[in-house]
């Protein structure tokens, strides 16, 4: 559709969504009232900049039902993701919401070159995580023979790949690299595999990683982007050009803003990605700040699609890390440490060894947490690992260290040392 | 029981000296010393002549330290003497955390320091078997 047709469609949907959110979501109505705005003041997407933002903290504070947009009996599913300090974020879905989300995922698979002739192996995690559910639904919608493997169980993953003739693999890029390594280690010849396409996301990955995985598995590898808050994967997807991801603009209105001032930035400028969910009924988010830093481009794409393209996220405005596919906020770790009798003198060390993320936390011991025996200290460490695992969903290695042994940079503590090279140095030209 | 001071020390070059220097500057004498080392830290265990003063000094200098009661046994300074003690403990299901030496007494005996999983139990057992135990001075 032409840009004008798209804008008209988006305007129509925005007006309806603002009215819906105003009626159903207390936080949104309150913010609108504070700004002296009524839904009738919003007549189209040009008015979007007048609307208030929604942040992760808002969603965390609204736990659990504060942002539910339909009666619970109309809600058919939830998915969930981590909040910044431990309170989860719950995203709700009506039947209609699940339906169009799966359409978005189906589009992603088609853009990657898939069709109903394909055998699509879903090696994203299933459950509260949206990765597995989204691609599973999209794959079935498209009509692919769908293999819902979830992650892990590498032996069986490879067995089904060779026995069933999997042609499309959907998982995190680090798991794809790990699978490639396992295939090589088991001596499985390339001829035994039918893989053609990879659809990878849920964590940052570089062009270098893409080329490496493509070479190892003999596939074309495509990026997919999304957030639980907006449905899940499928908000944006790469096409055969592999030059950025097309945003499903009929369902999601995208803006780039200056993270400090909140002012919208023109196309081509780097800033924070903000999405408005035009169609979601059960979880209607208007101007949700993703904290991902990105550039948008409306330059013509060789694939012919006219939806705007976003670059791979280039960083975060906050300190969130993605470790083994899981969102980790240092503030969550601090919460656990303080609750467990430690101080906030800690350091997070992240690296990638053999395609797997390593995650260590150094914590300075305190008088209450100093045992006279090494086994006593080890017990304290184990207790911390358990507490952190409950909070984060993954287990770090915890090392207690002597006070003042964690290096402090000029004045400010160096809280995170991330040795993985996840953001490409190469500039995206759009 | 005897009072032992445990101090957490970073396992890096040069980190032990400041601890000992701080004590020496306060005229505190160390009578026994051992270190349990791990990759990142060591637990320095010392017996000093002025336990409270040493604790204050260490705290003032930013160290994490604690006082632990441990058992001090006088035994014959001859081969097999400690093995006998060990057997006695094991036969009575008393666990050993760690052990080191305080020093010769000069009359053919030696005093050793020992932390059991249950120190009181260990002391009672040893006393019942004729061993001399050192208390607080």
- pTM of the entire structure? 0.85
Whether the CB-CB separation of B10 and A402 falls below 8 Å is answered with yes
Rounded CA-CA distance A301/A249 in Å is: 15
Q: State whether B64 and A404 contact (CB < 8 Å).
A: no
Whether the CB-CB separation of A90 and A118 falls below 8 Å is answered with no
Band (pLDDT 50/70/90 cuts) for residue A412 is low
Query: Is the pLDDT assigned to residue A315 strictly greater than 90?
Result: no
pLDDT digits (tens, 9 = 90+) for A23-76: 999 999 999 999 999 999 999 999 999 999 999 999 999 999 999 999 999 999
Q: Tell me the two tokens of residue A64.
A: 């659990």
User: With an 8 Å Cβ cutoff, is B90 touching chain A?
Assistant: no
Query: Is the pLDDT assigned to residue A82 strictly greater than 90?
Result: no
Q: State whether B115 and A372 contact (CB < 8 Å).
A: yes
Query: Is the pLDDT assigned to residue B121 strictly greater than 90?
Result: yes
Band (pLDDT 50/70/90 cuts) for residue B137 is very low
Q: State whether A367 and B64 contact (CB < 8 Å).
A: yes
Chain A residue with CA closest to B64: the answer is: A367
Percent over 70 (pLDDT), chain A: 97
Q: State whether A405 and B41 contact (CB < 8 Å).
A: yes
Q: Where are the beta strands (DSSP E) in A278-402?
A: 288-294, 296-297, 309-310, 315-316, 321-323, 326-328, 346-353, 356-364, 397-401
Rounded CA-CA distance A355/A361 in Å is: 20
Which of B43, B59, B63, B114 should be substituted to probe chain A, the one whose Cβ sees the most A Cβ atoms within 10 Å? B43
Q: What per-residue string of b and e applies to A67-85 under the rule 16 or more CB within 10 Å gives b?
A: bbbbeeebbeebbbbbbbe
Query: Is the pLDDT assigned to residue A146 strictly greater than 50?
Result: yes
**Interacting residues of A416 by C-beta distance below 8 A, sequence separation 6+:** A319, A321, A330, A347, A348, A350
- Give the ranges where A119-222 is alpha helix by DSSP (H): 130-142, 154-160, 173-185, 207-217
Chain A residue with CA closest to B69: the answer is: A372
**What pLDDT is stored for residue A426 in this prediction?**
59
Q: State whether B66 and A373 contact (CB < 8 Å).
A: no
**What pLDDT is stored for residue A387 in this prediction?**
97
**What pLDDT is stored for residue A427 in this prediction?**
66
CA distance B9 to chain A (A): 6
| Average pLDDT for chain A | 94
In chain B, what is the greatest distance between 2 CA atoms, to the nearest angstrom? Answer: 45
Q: Where are the beta strands (DSSP E) in A193-334?
A: 197-201, 220-227, 232-238, 245-247, 252-257, 271-277, 288-294, 296-297, 309-310, 315-316, 321-323, 326-328
From chain B, pick out residues whose CB is under 8 angstroms from the CB of A407. none
Q: Tell me the two tokens of residue B108.
A: 């053919």
Q: State whether A370 and B41 contact (CB < 8 Å).
A: no
**What pLDDT is stored for residue A411 in this prediction?**
63
From chain A, pick out residues whose CB is under 8 angstroms from the CB of B41. 365, 377, 400-402, 405
pLDDT digits (tens, 9 = 90+) for A251-289: 999 999 999 999 999 999 999 999 999 999 999 999 999
Higher-confidence position of A426 and B29 = B29
**Residue B7's closest CA among A363, A343, A365, A383?**
A365
Rounded CA-CA distance A83/A89 in Å is: 6
Query: Is the pLDDT assigned to residue A425 strictly greater than 60?
Result: no
Rounded CA-CA distance A228/A112 in Å is: 22
**What pLDDT is stored for residue A206 in this prediction?**
87
């Amino acid at each position: 559709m032409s840009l004008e047709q798209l804008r008209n469609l988006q305007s129509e949907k925005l007006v309806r969504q603002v009215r819906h959110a105003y009626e159903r979501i207390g936080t949104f109505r309150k913010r609108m009232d504070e700004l002296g705005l009524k839904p009738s003041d919003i007549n189209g997407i040009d008015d979007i900049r007048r609307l208030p933002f929604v942040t992760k903290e808002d969603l965390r504070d609204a736990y659990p039902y504060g942002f539910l947009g339909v009666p619970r009996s109309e809600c058919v599913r939830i998915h969930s993701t981590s909040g910044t300090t431990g309170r989860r974020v719950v995203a709700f879905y009506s039947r209609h919401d699940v339906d169009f989300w799966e359409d978005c995922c189906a589009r992603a698979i088609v853009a990657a070159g898939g069709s109903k002739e394909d055998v699509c192996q879903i090696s994203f995690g299933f459950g509260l995580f949206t990765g597995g559910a989204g691609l599973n639904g999209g794959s079935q919608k498209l009509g692919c023979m769908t293999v819902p493997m979830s992650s892990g169980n590498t032996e069986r993953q490879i067995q089904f790949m060779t026995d069933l003739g999997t042609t499309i693999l959907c998982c995190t890029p680090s798991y794809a690299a790990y699978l490639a390594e396992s295939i090589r280690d088991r001596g499985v010849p390339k001829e035994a595999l039918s893989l053609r396409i990879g659809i990878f996301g849920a964590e940052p990955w570089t062009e270098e990683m893409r080329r490496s995985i493509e070479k190892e598995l003999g596939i074309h590898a495509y990026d997919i982007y999304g957030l639980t808050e907006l449905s899940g994967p499928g908000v944006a997807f790469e096409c055969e050009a592999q030059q950025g991801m097309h945003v499903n603009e009929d369902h999601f209105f995208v803006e780039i803003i200056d993270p400090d001032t909140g002012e919208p930035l023109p196309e081509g400028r780097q800033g924070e990605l903000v999405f408005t969910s035009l169609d979601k009924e059960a979880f209607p988010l208007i101007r949700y700040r993703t904290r991902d830093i990105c550039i948008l481009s409306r330059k013509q794409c060789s694939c012919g699609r006219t939806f705007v393209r976003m670059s791979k996220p280039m960083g975060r405005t906050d300190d969130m890390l993605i470790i083994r596919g899981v969102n980790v906020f240092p503030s969550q770790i601090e919460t656990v440490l303080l609750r467990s009798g430690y101080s906030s003198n800690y350091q997070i060390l992240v690296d990638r060894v053999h395609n797997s993320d390593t995650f260590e936390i150094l914590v300075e011991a305190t008088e209450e947490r100093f045992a006279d025996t090494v086994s006593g200290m080890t017990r304290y460490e184990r207790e911390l690992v358990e507490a952190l695992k409950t909070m984060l969903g993954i287990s770090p290695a915890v090392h207690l260290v002597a006070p003042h042994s964690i290096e402090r940079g000029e004045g400010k503590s160096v809280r995170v040392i991330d040795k993985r090279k996840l953001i490409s140095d190469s500039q995206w030209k759009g | 029981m005897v009072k032992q001071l445990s101090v957490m020390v970073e396992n890096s070059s040069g980190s032990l000296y400041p601890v000992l220097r701080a004590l020496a500057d306060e005229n505190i004498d160390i009578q026994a010393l051992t270190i349990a080392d791990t990759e990142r830290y060591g637990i320095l265990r010392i017996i000093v002549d002025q336990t409270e003063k040493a604790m204050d000094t260490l705290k003032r200098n930013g160290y994490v330290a604690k006082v632990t009661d441990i058992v001090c046994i006088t035994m014959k300074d001859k081969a097999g003497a400690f093995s006998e003690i060990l057997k006695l403990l094991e036969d009575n299901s008393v666990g050993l955390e760690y052990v080191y030496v305080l020093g010769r007494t000069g009359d053919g005996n030696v005093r050793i320091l020992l932390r059991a999983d249950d120190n009181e139990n260990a002391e009672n057992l040893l006393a019942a078997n004729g061993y001399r135990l050192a208390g607080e001075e």
